[in-house]
Structures are given as structure tokens and as C-alpha cells.
Structure 1
């Protein structure tokens, strides 16, 4: 395979990755910024709780492992990867994921080197495996969180009915974990276990929001904590909260529908130059070769790439609508 074509395919892959991540306007892009703000607020909420209780489930998980597994799992990389796997709803051990990623990267490098005899492509193969896995993990976390938010509204209704019957708050969490499907049942079940172990309510609710970084969960936490400190009708508050969340979902769907044409236009505008370049390169290589071989052609490609990147940022800013 020609070296210029190989470089073009690498650039095309990176462009598709950048475009796909930049144009997730209604989900990933907005939520990433919002999650950082949520974490700051959650740390403030949990200040009055016992900090030694925050990782109770993590400690319980580590205690079930062998000494070797605990050594491999209990480190900054293991904790970071375990958090990402938890957000994606995967019950995988972090050290095993790292091991299989290393095996997959080595296998991909060896296969590329055998079939293409290109050392550069072989060295880039593990990076492609890592990027692909990261994007897949991010996508799984996004799907899980979207499903959790959809079920969370129904969970609020279940909690309201349980409170009206007269259940205490701990039994209300247990009721949700038994009557609702996962992932919301799993998350409320973890919160119920923490409360049973004696974890402070603030810390337990903060852990729930850390595992599910959502504005809706933060509003629920605030309502429960305020009711605990000042009193009030929690069932009525949860009913109003569920109505607000349903209205927000309706608005988000409307925004997503109205912005669909803009997102599709962005995809077309950004991918057409790459597709046209590939067609010309395959059909008439001599016609496109001056663009790749001459100094002026390299300058044109550089300016074009910078202009396309700036255009992508501008389109992203236009389509970004906070709900």
C-alpha cells in the first residue's frame, strides 16, 4: 500500500473520531462539562459526612479479592478504570481489562506487521485499539446513564407511593431496588446496602450521584437532604420533581429533533472532502499526486485541515443547546 494513502487513511480515521465525538451535542459533549460541575457540588454536599465511609463498597469489593488481585486493582490506574467500568455498568475487573488490552494491542501490531510489513502502522495499532475501547466504553456509559435517567422518573413515582404508604426512607430505597429493572434497581440497591452499613445519608446519596452523574439525581439528593434537615412532605416534593424531569425530557427530545438536520449537515460537510479525495486517488492517482508531493500541495492541505477544524468547532458551538 502506498505510504501517502496510508497516511490519508490514518487522517480519515482520526477525522471520523473527532467528528463523531464533537457532534454528540445533546449527550456526551454537554454532559461531560456538566459532570465536572456536578462532582464539585457533590463534594461540597458530602463535606459534613464521614470521609472514611465514602469508599465502603470499594473496600468491600477489594476485601473479596486475593492478595495479588488486590495489589493489581488497588492503584490509581485500577481505581480510574474501575470507575469508568462502573459508569458503563460492566462488572469487569480493571486489571483483567488492562491485560486483555495489552494482548489485543500486541496481537493487532503483529497482524498488521505480518500483512503490511509497515512498522509505523504496526506501532499505531495498539493506539487504535486503546482509542476504540475508550470510545466504546464511553458509549456504553452514555447508554447506561440515559437508561438510568429514563427509569429514574418511574423510580420517583415508586418512592412517592411507598412514602405515602408510610415506609421509612431506607425501606423506600429497598422497594425501588426490588421493583424496578436495572440499572436503577442496582444503583438504589447499592445505596440501600450503604445505608444498612451505617453510612451517613449525605454520603450514600453523594455516592449514588457519583456513580450516576446527572442533574436529576442531584435534585433528588437536595430534596431528600433538605427534607431531613428542615422537614416537609417528601412525597409531594418527589411528585413535583418527577413532573419537572418529564418536562425536561420532552424539551430535550424536541431539541434533539430540531437539531438533527444540523448534525447531519455537519457530518456531510466534514466528510465530503475526504470521500472526494479518496475517489480521485483511486480513479486517477496522477491527478491528485501534485497535491501530495509538491510543497504547495502540503501547504494547501495544512490550511484546509486547520480551516475544517475551525469550522467543526463553529458548527459545534451553533448546535450546542443546554437543556
Structure 2
């Protein structure tokens, strides 16, 4: 019996098992739901802090890109942290490097495809602009949806903190309860604030970071009321109850305003898109009918004047239908 052969087979077997286990542990540490949750919390804490450097040095700094070279290049861009905070507020797990890639690469691919397969220059430029604006539009859309969800959840969070204070819990413990009990996205934000306080960040800086990460006026009023109460005293539970009632009343009034202005918003969309839709249909049915608009100098002036007047019309309709409550 060849014991060396069997020993080699057994060693190979254990090596494969250990390799699979190492791969699983690596994947779990990088891509599991728990690892993503911890990374998201560290990312929000590092991007949201605005205290002094000595206080916030205990928090991990958010990387602008996975590439060190691209990170050093991005650091030379002025106000790049504003873009980074914009990404954090959207809730997407994107870095600035990924946003840059998603913004630059698609137009380049479209341009190459347009040269390989002949596409009219105007259509190619339009498609390149749409491809380049997709990533910023997605981030902006995600941020708007996330801020709206937090605004709707804020009254319930204020009521929960007030009930916790009436039950005898401390304010930081109440923040932790909101972070554990409330759903996303407001739960993770309050959990981040609670973690910052536990890490040694002062309450004022932690609440300031919360208001910095979430640019909502109602949340800023919430933070200001808490900070004033800490200086002057008073019944914080009653103050938070009044704030939640005011926020609910404002959201109800805003819903009524949106219903009443729905017809105006639909009219603005129809009037804004109708010229482009009609021009597209005419170009399909009779391609030579509109050619004079970009081949004749007078046609170019007419198109430019029409676009300028449409721009003023869109801005004017937007001013009419956007009612701040």
C-alpha cells in the first residue's frame, strides 16, 4: 500500500477545504450584508462629521476612489467633499471614482459606436449627453427619494424619542432605540449618531453631523430645539411632541398643495415635451421637412430663439407650480 500517495491525497483534500473556507471568509468580510452595513455606517460617520480634527480623528475617513492614484487626483479638485457628501446623502454605495467612471465611460462608448456605425452628429451628441447625465440623474433621484422618506419618518422618530425620555431613558439611549427600531433610511442615520456619541464625539458635534448629512429643514429644527434645550433647560419630551405635530401638519398641507398643483405640473410637462415629440415624429415621417432648420442660417436663429423662449417658459412654469410650505 502506497501510504505516501494516500497522504498526498489527504493533504490535497484539506488544502482545497481550507482554500474554500478562506474564500468564504474573504467574501463574508467584504460582501456580506453585515460587512456592507458596517461599511455604510463608517462611511456616513466619516462623511457627516464636521467637528474639529482632534475629535473626529477616531473615525475612519471615506475613500474618494478605490484607486490611490485617482484619489490623489480627486483631492486636487476644489470642493470635492461636497460631491462626496452628495453621494452619501443619496444612500448609494458609490465613491466619487465610480461616479466619475459612470459619467465619463458611457459617452465615450457611445461616441465610439457612433463612429463605427454612422449616426447623425446631432443625434450622436444628444445620446452622449443622455448617457453622461444618467449617473448624476440617478444619484439626484436617489437622494430625493431618500430625503423624502426621512422627512416622512421624522415625526415618528421624534415621538419615539419623547416616549423614551418619559420612560426614564437618557437622550443618547433614546437615539440608539430609534436607530434599532426605526426602518431605513432614518434608522441608520440615528444609529450612526448614536455610534458617534459612543465613540467619544460630543453630542453637539454628533447632532451637527446628523443635520449635515440630512439637509432637511425639519430635521435642522429638531436638532436646534435639542441644542437649545440643553443650554436653557425644559421638558424635552414635550418639545419633541410639539415638533412632531408641526411636521405632520406641514406634511399634510404639503400633500394638499401637491394635489391642487398636479394639473399645473402635468401641463408643464406636456408643454415642455410637445415641441420635441412633434419634431421627432415629423423627422420620422418626412425627414427633409425640418432640414431647413439646421441647414439655413435663419433656421438656426429660429431654433435658438425657440429654445431660449422655451427655457424661460419652463422656468416660469416651475416657479408657478412649486409652492413652498
Interval containing the TM-score (normalised by the shorter chain): 0.7 to 0.9
1:285 Cα shift? Answer: 3.7
Distance 1:275 1:51 in 2: 54
Q: 1:209 to 1:56 in 2, by over 3 A?
A: farther
CA offsets, 1:240-299, max 9 Å, x none? 110000000001111111111001111111222222222223223444344443333333
Distance 2:318 2:67 in 1: 48
Q: Does 1:282 align with 2:245?
A: no
1:66 Cα shift? Answer: 8.9
Task: Look up the match of 2:60.
Answer: 60
Contact 1:178/1:185 (8 A) holds in 2: yes
Task: Look up the match of 1:145.
Answer: 147
Contact 1:174/1:188 (8 A) holds in 2: yes
Q: Does 1:175 align with 2:177?
A: yes
Distance 2:90 2:67 in 1: 26
Distance 1:73 1:291 in 2: 43
The TM-score, its normalising length taken from structure 2, stands at 0.74
Q: Number of residue pairs matched?
A: 274
1:92 Cα shift? Answer: 2.8
Contact 2:150/2:186 (8 A) holds in 1: yes
Distance 2:175 2:158 in 1: 10
Task: Look up the match of 1:246.
Answer: 248
Distance 1:128 1:321 in 2: 29
Task: Look up the match of 1:75.
Answer: 75
Q: What RMSD, in angstroms, separates the aligned Cα atoms of the two structures?
A: 3.0
Q: Which has the higher contact order (CA 8 A, sep 6+)?
A: 1
CA offsets, 1:138-161, max 9 Å, x none? 000000011111111111111111
Give unmatched runs, 5+ long, in structure 2: 1-48
Q: 1:200 to 1:69 in 2, by over 3 A?
A: farther
The TM-score, its normalising length taken from structure 1, stands at 0.75
Contact 2:99/2:135 (8 A) holds in 1: no
Point out the structure with the larger helix share: 1
1:118 Cα shift? Answer: 6.2
CA offsets, 1:158-196, max 9 Å, x none? 111100001111101100011111111110011111111
Larger radius of gyration: 2
Match of 2:100 among 98, 101, 104: 98
Give unmatched runs, 5+ long, in structure 1: 1-45
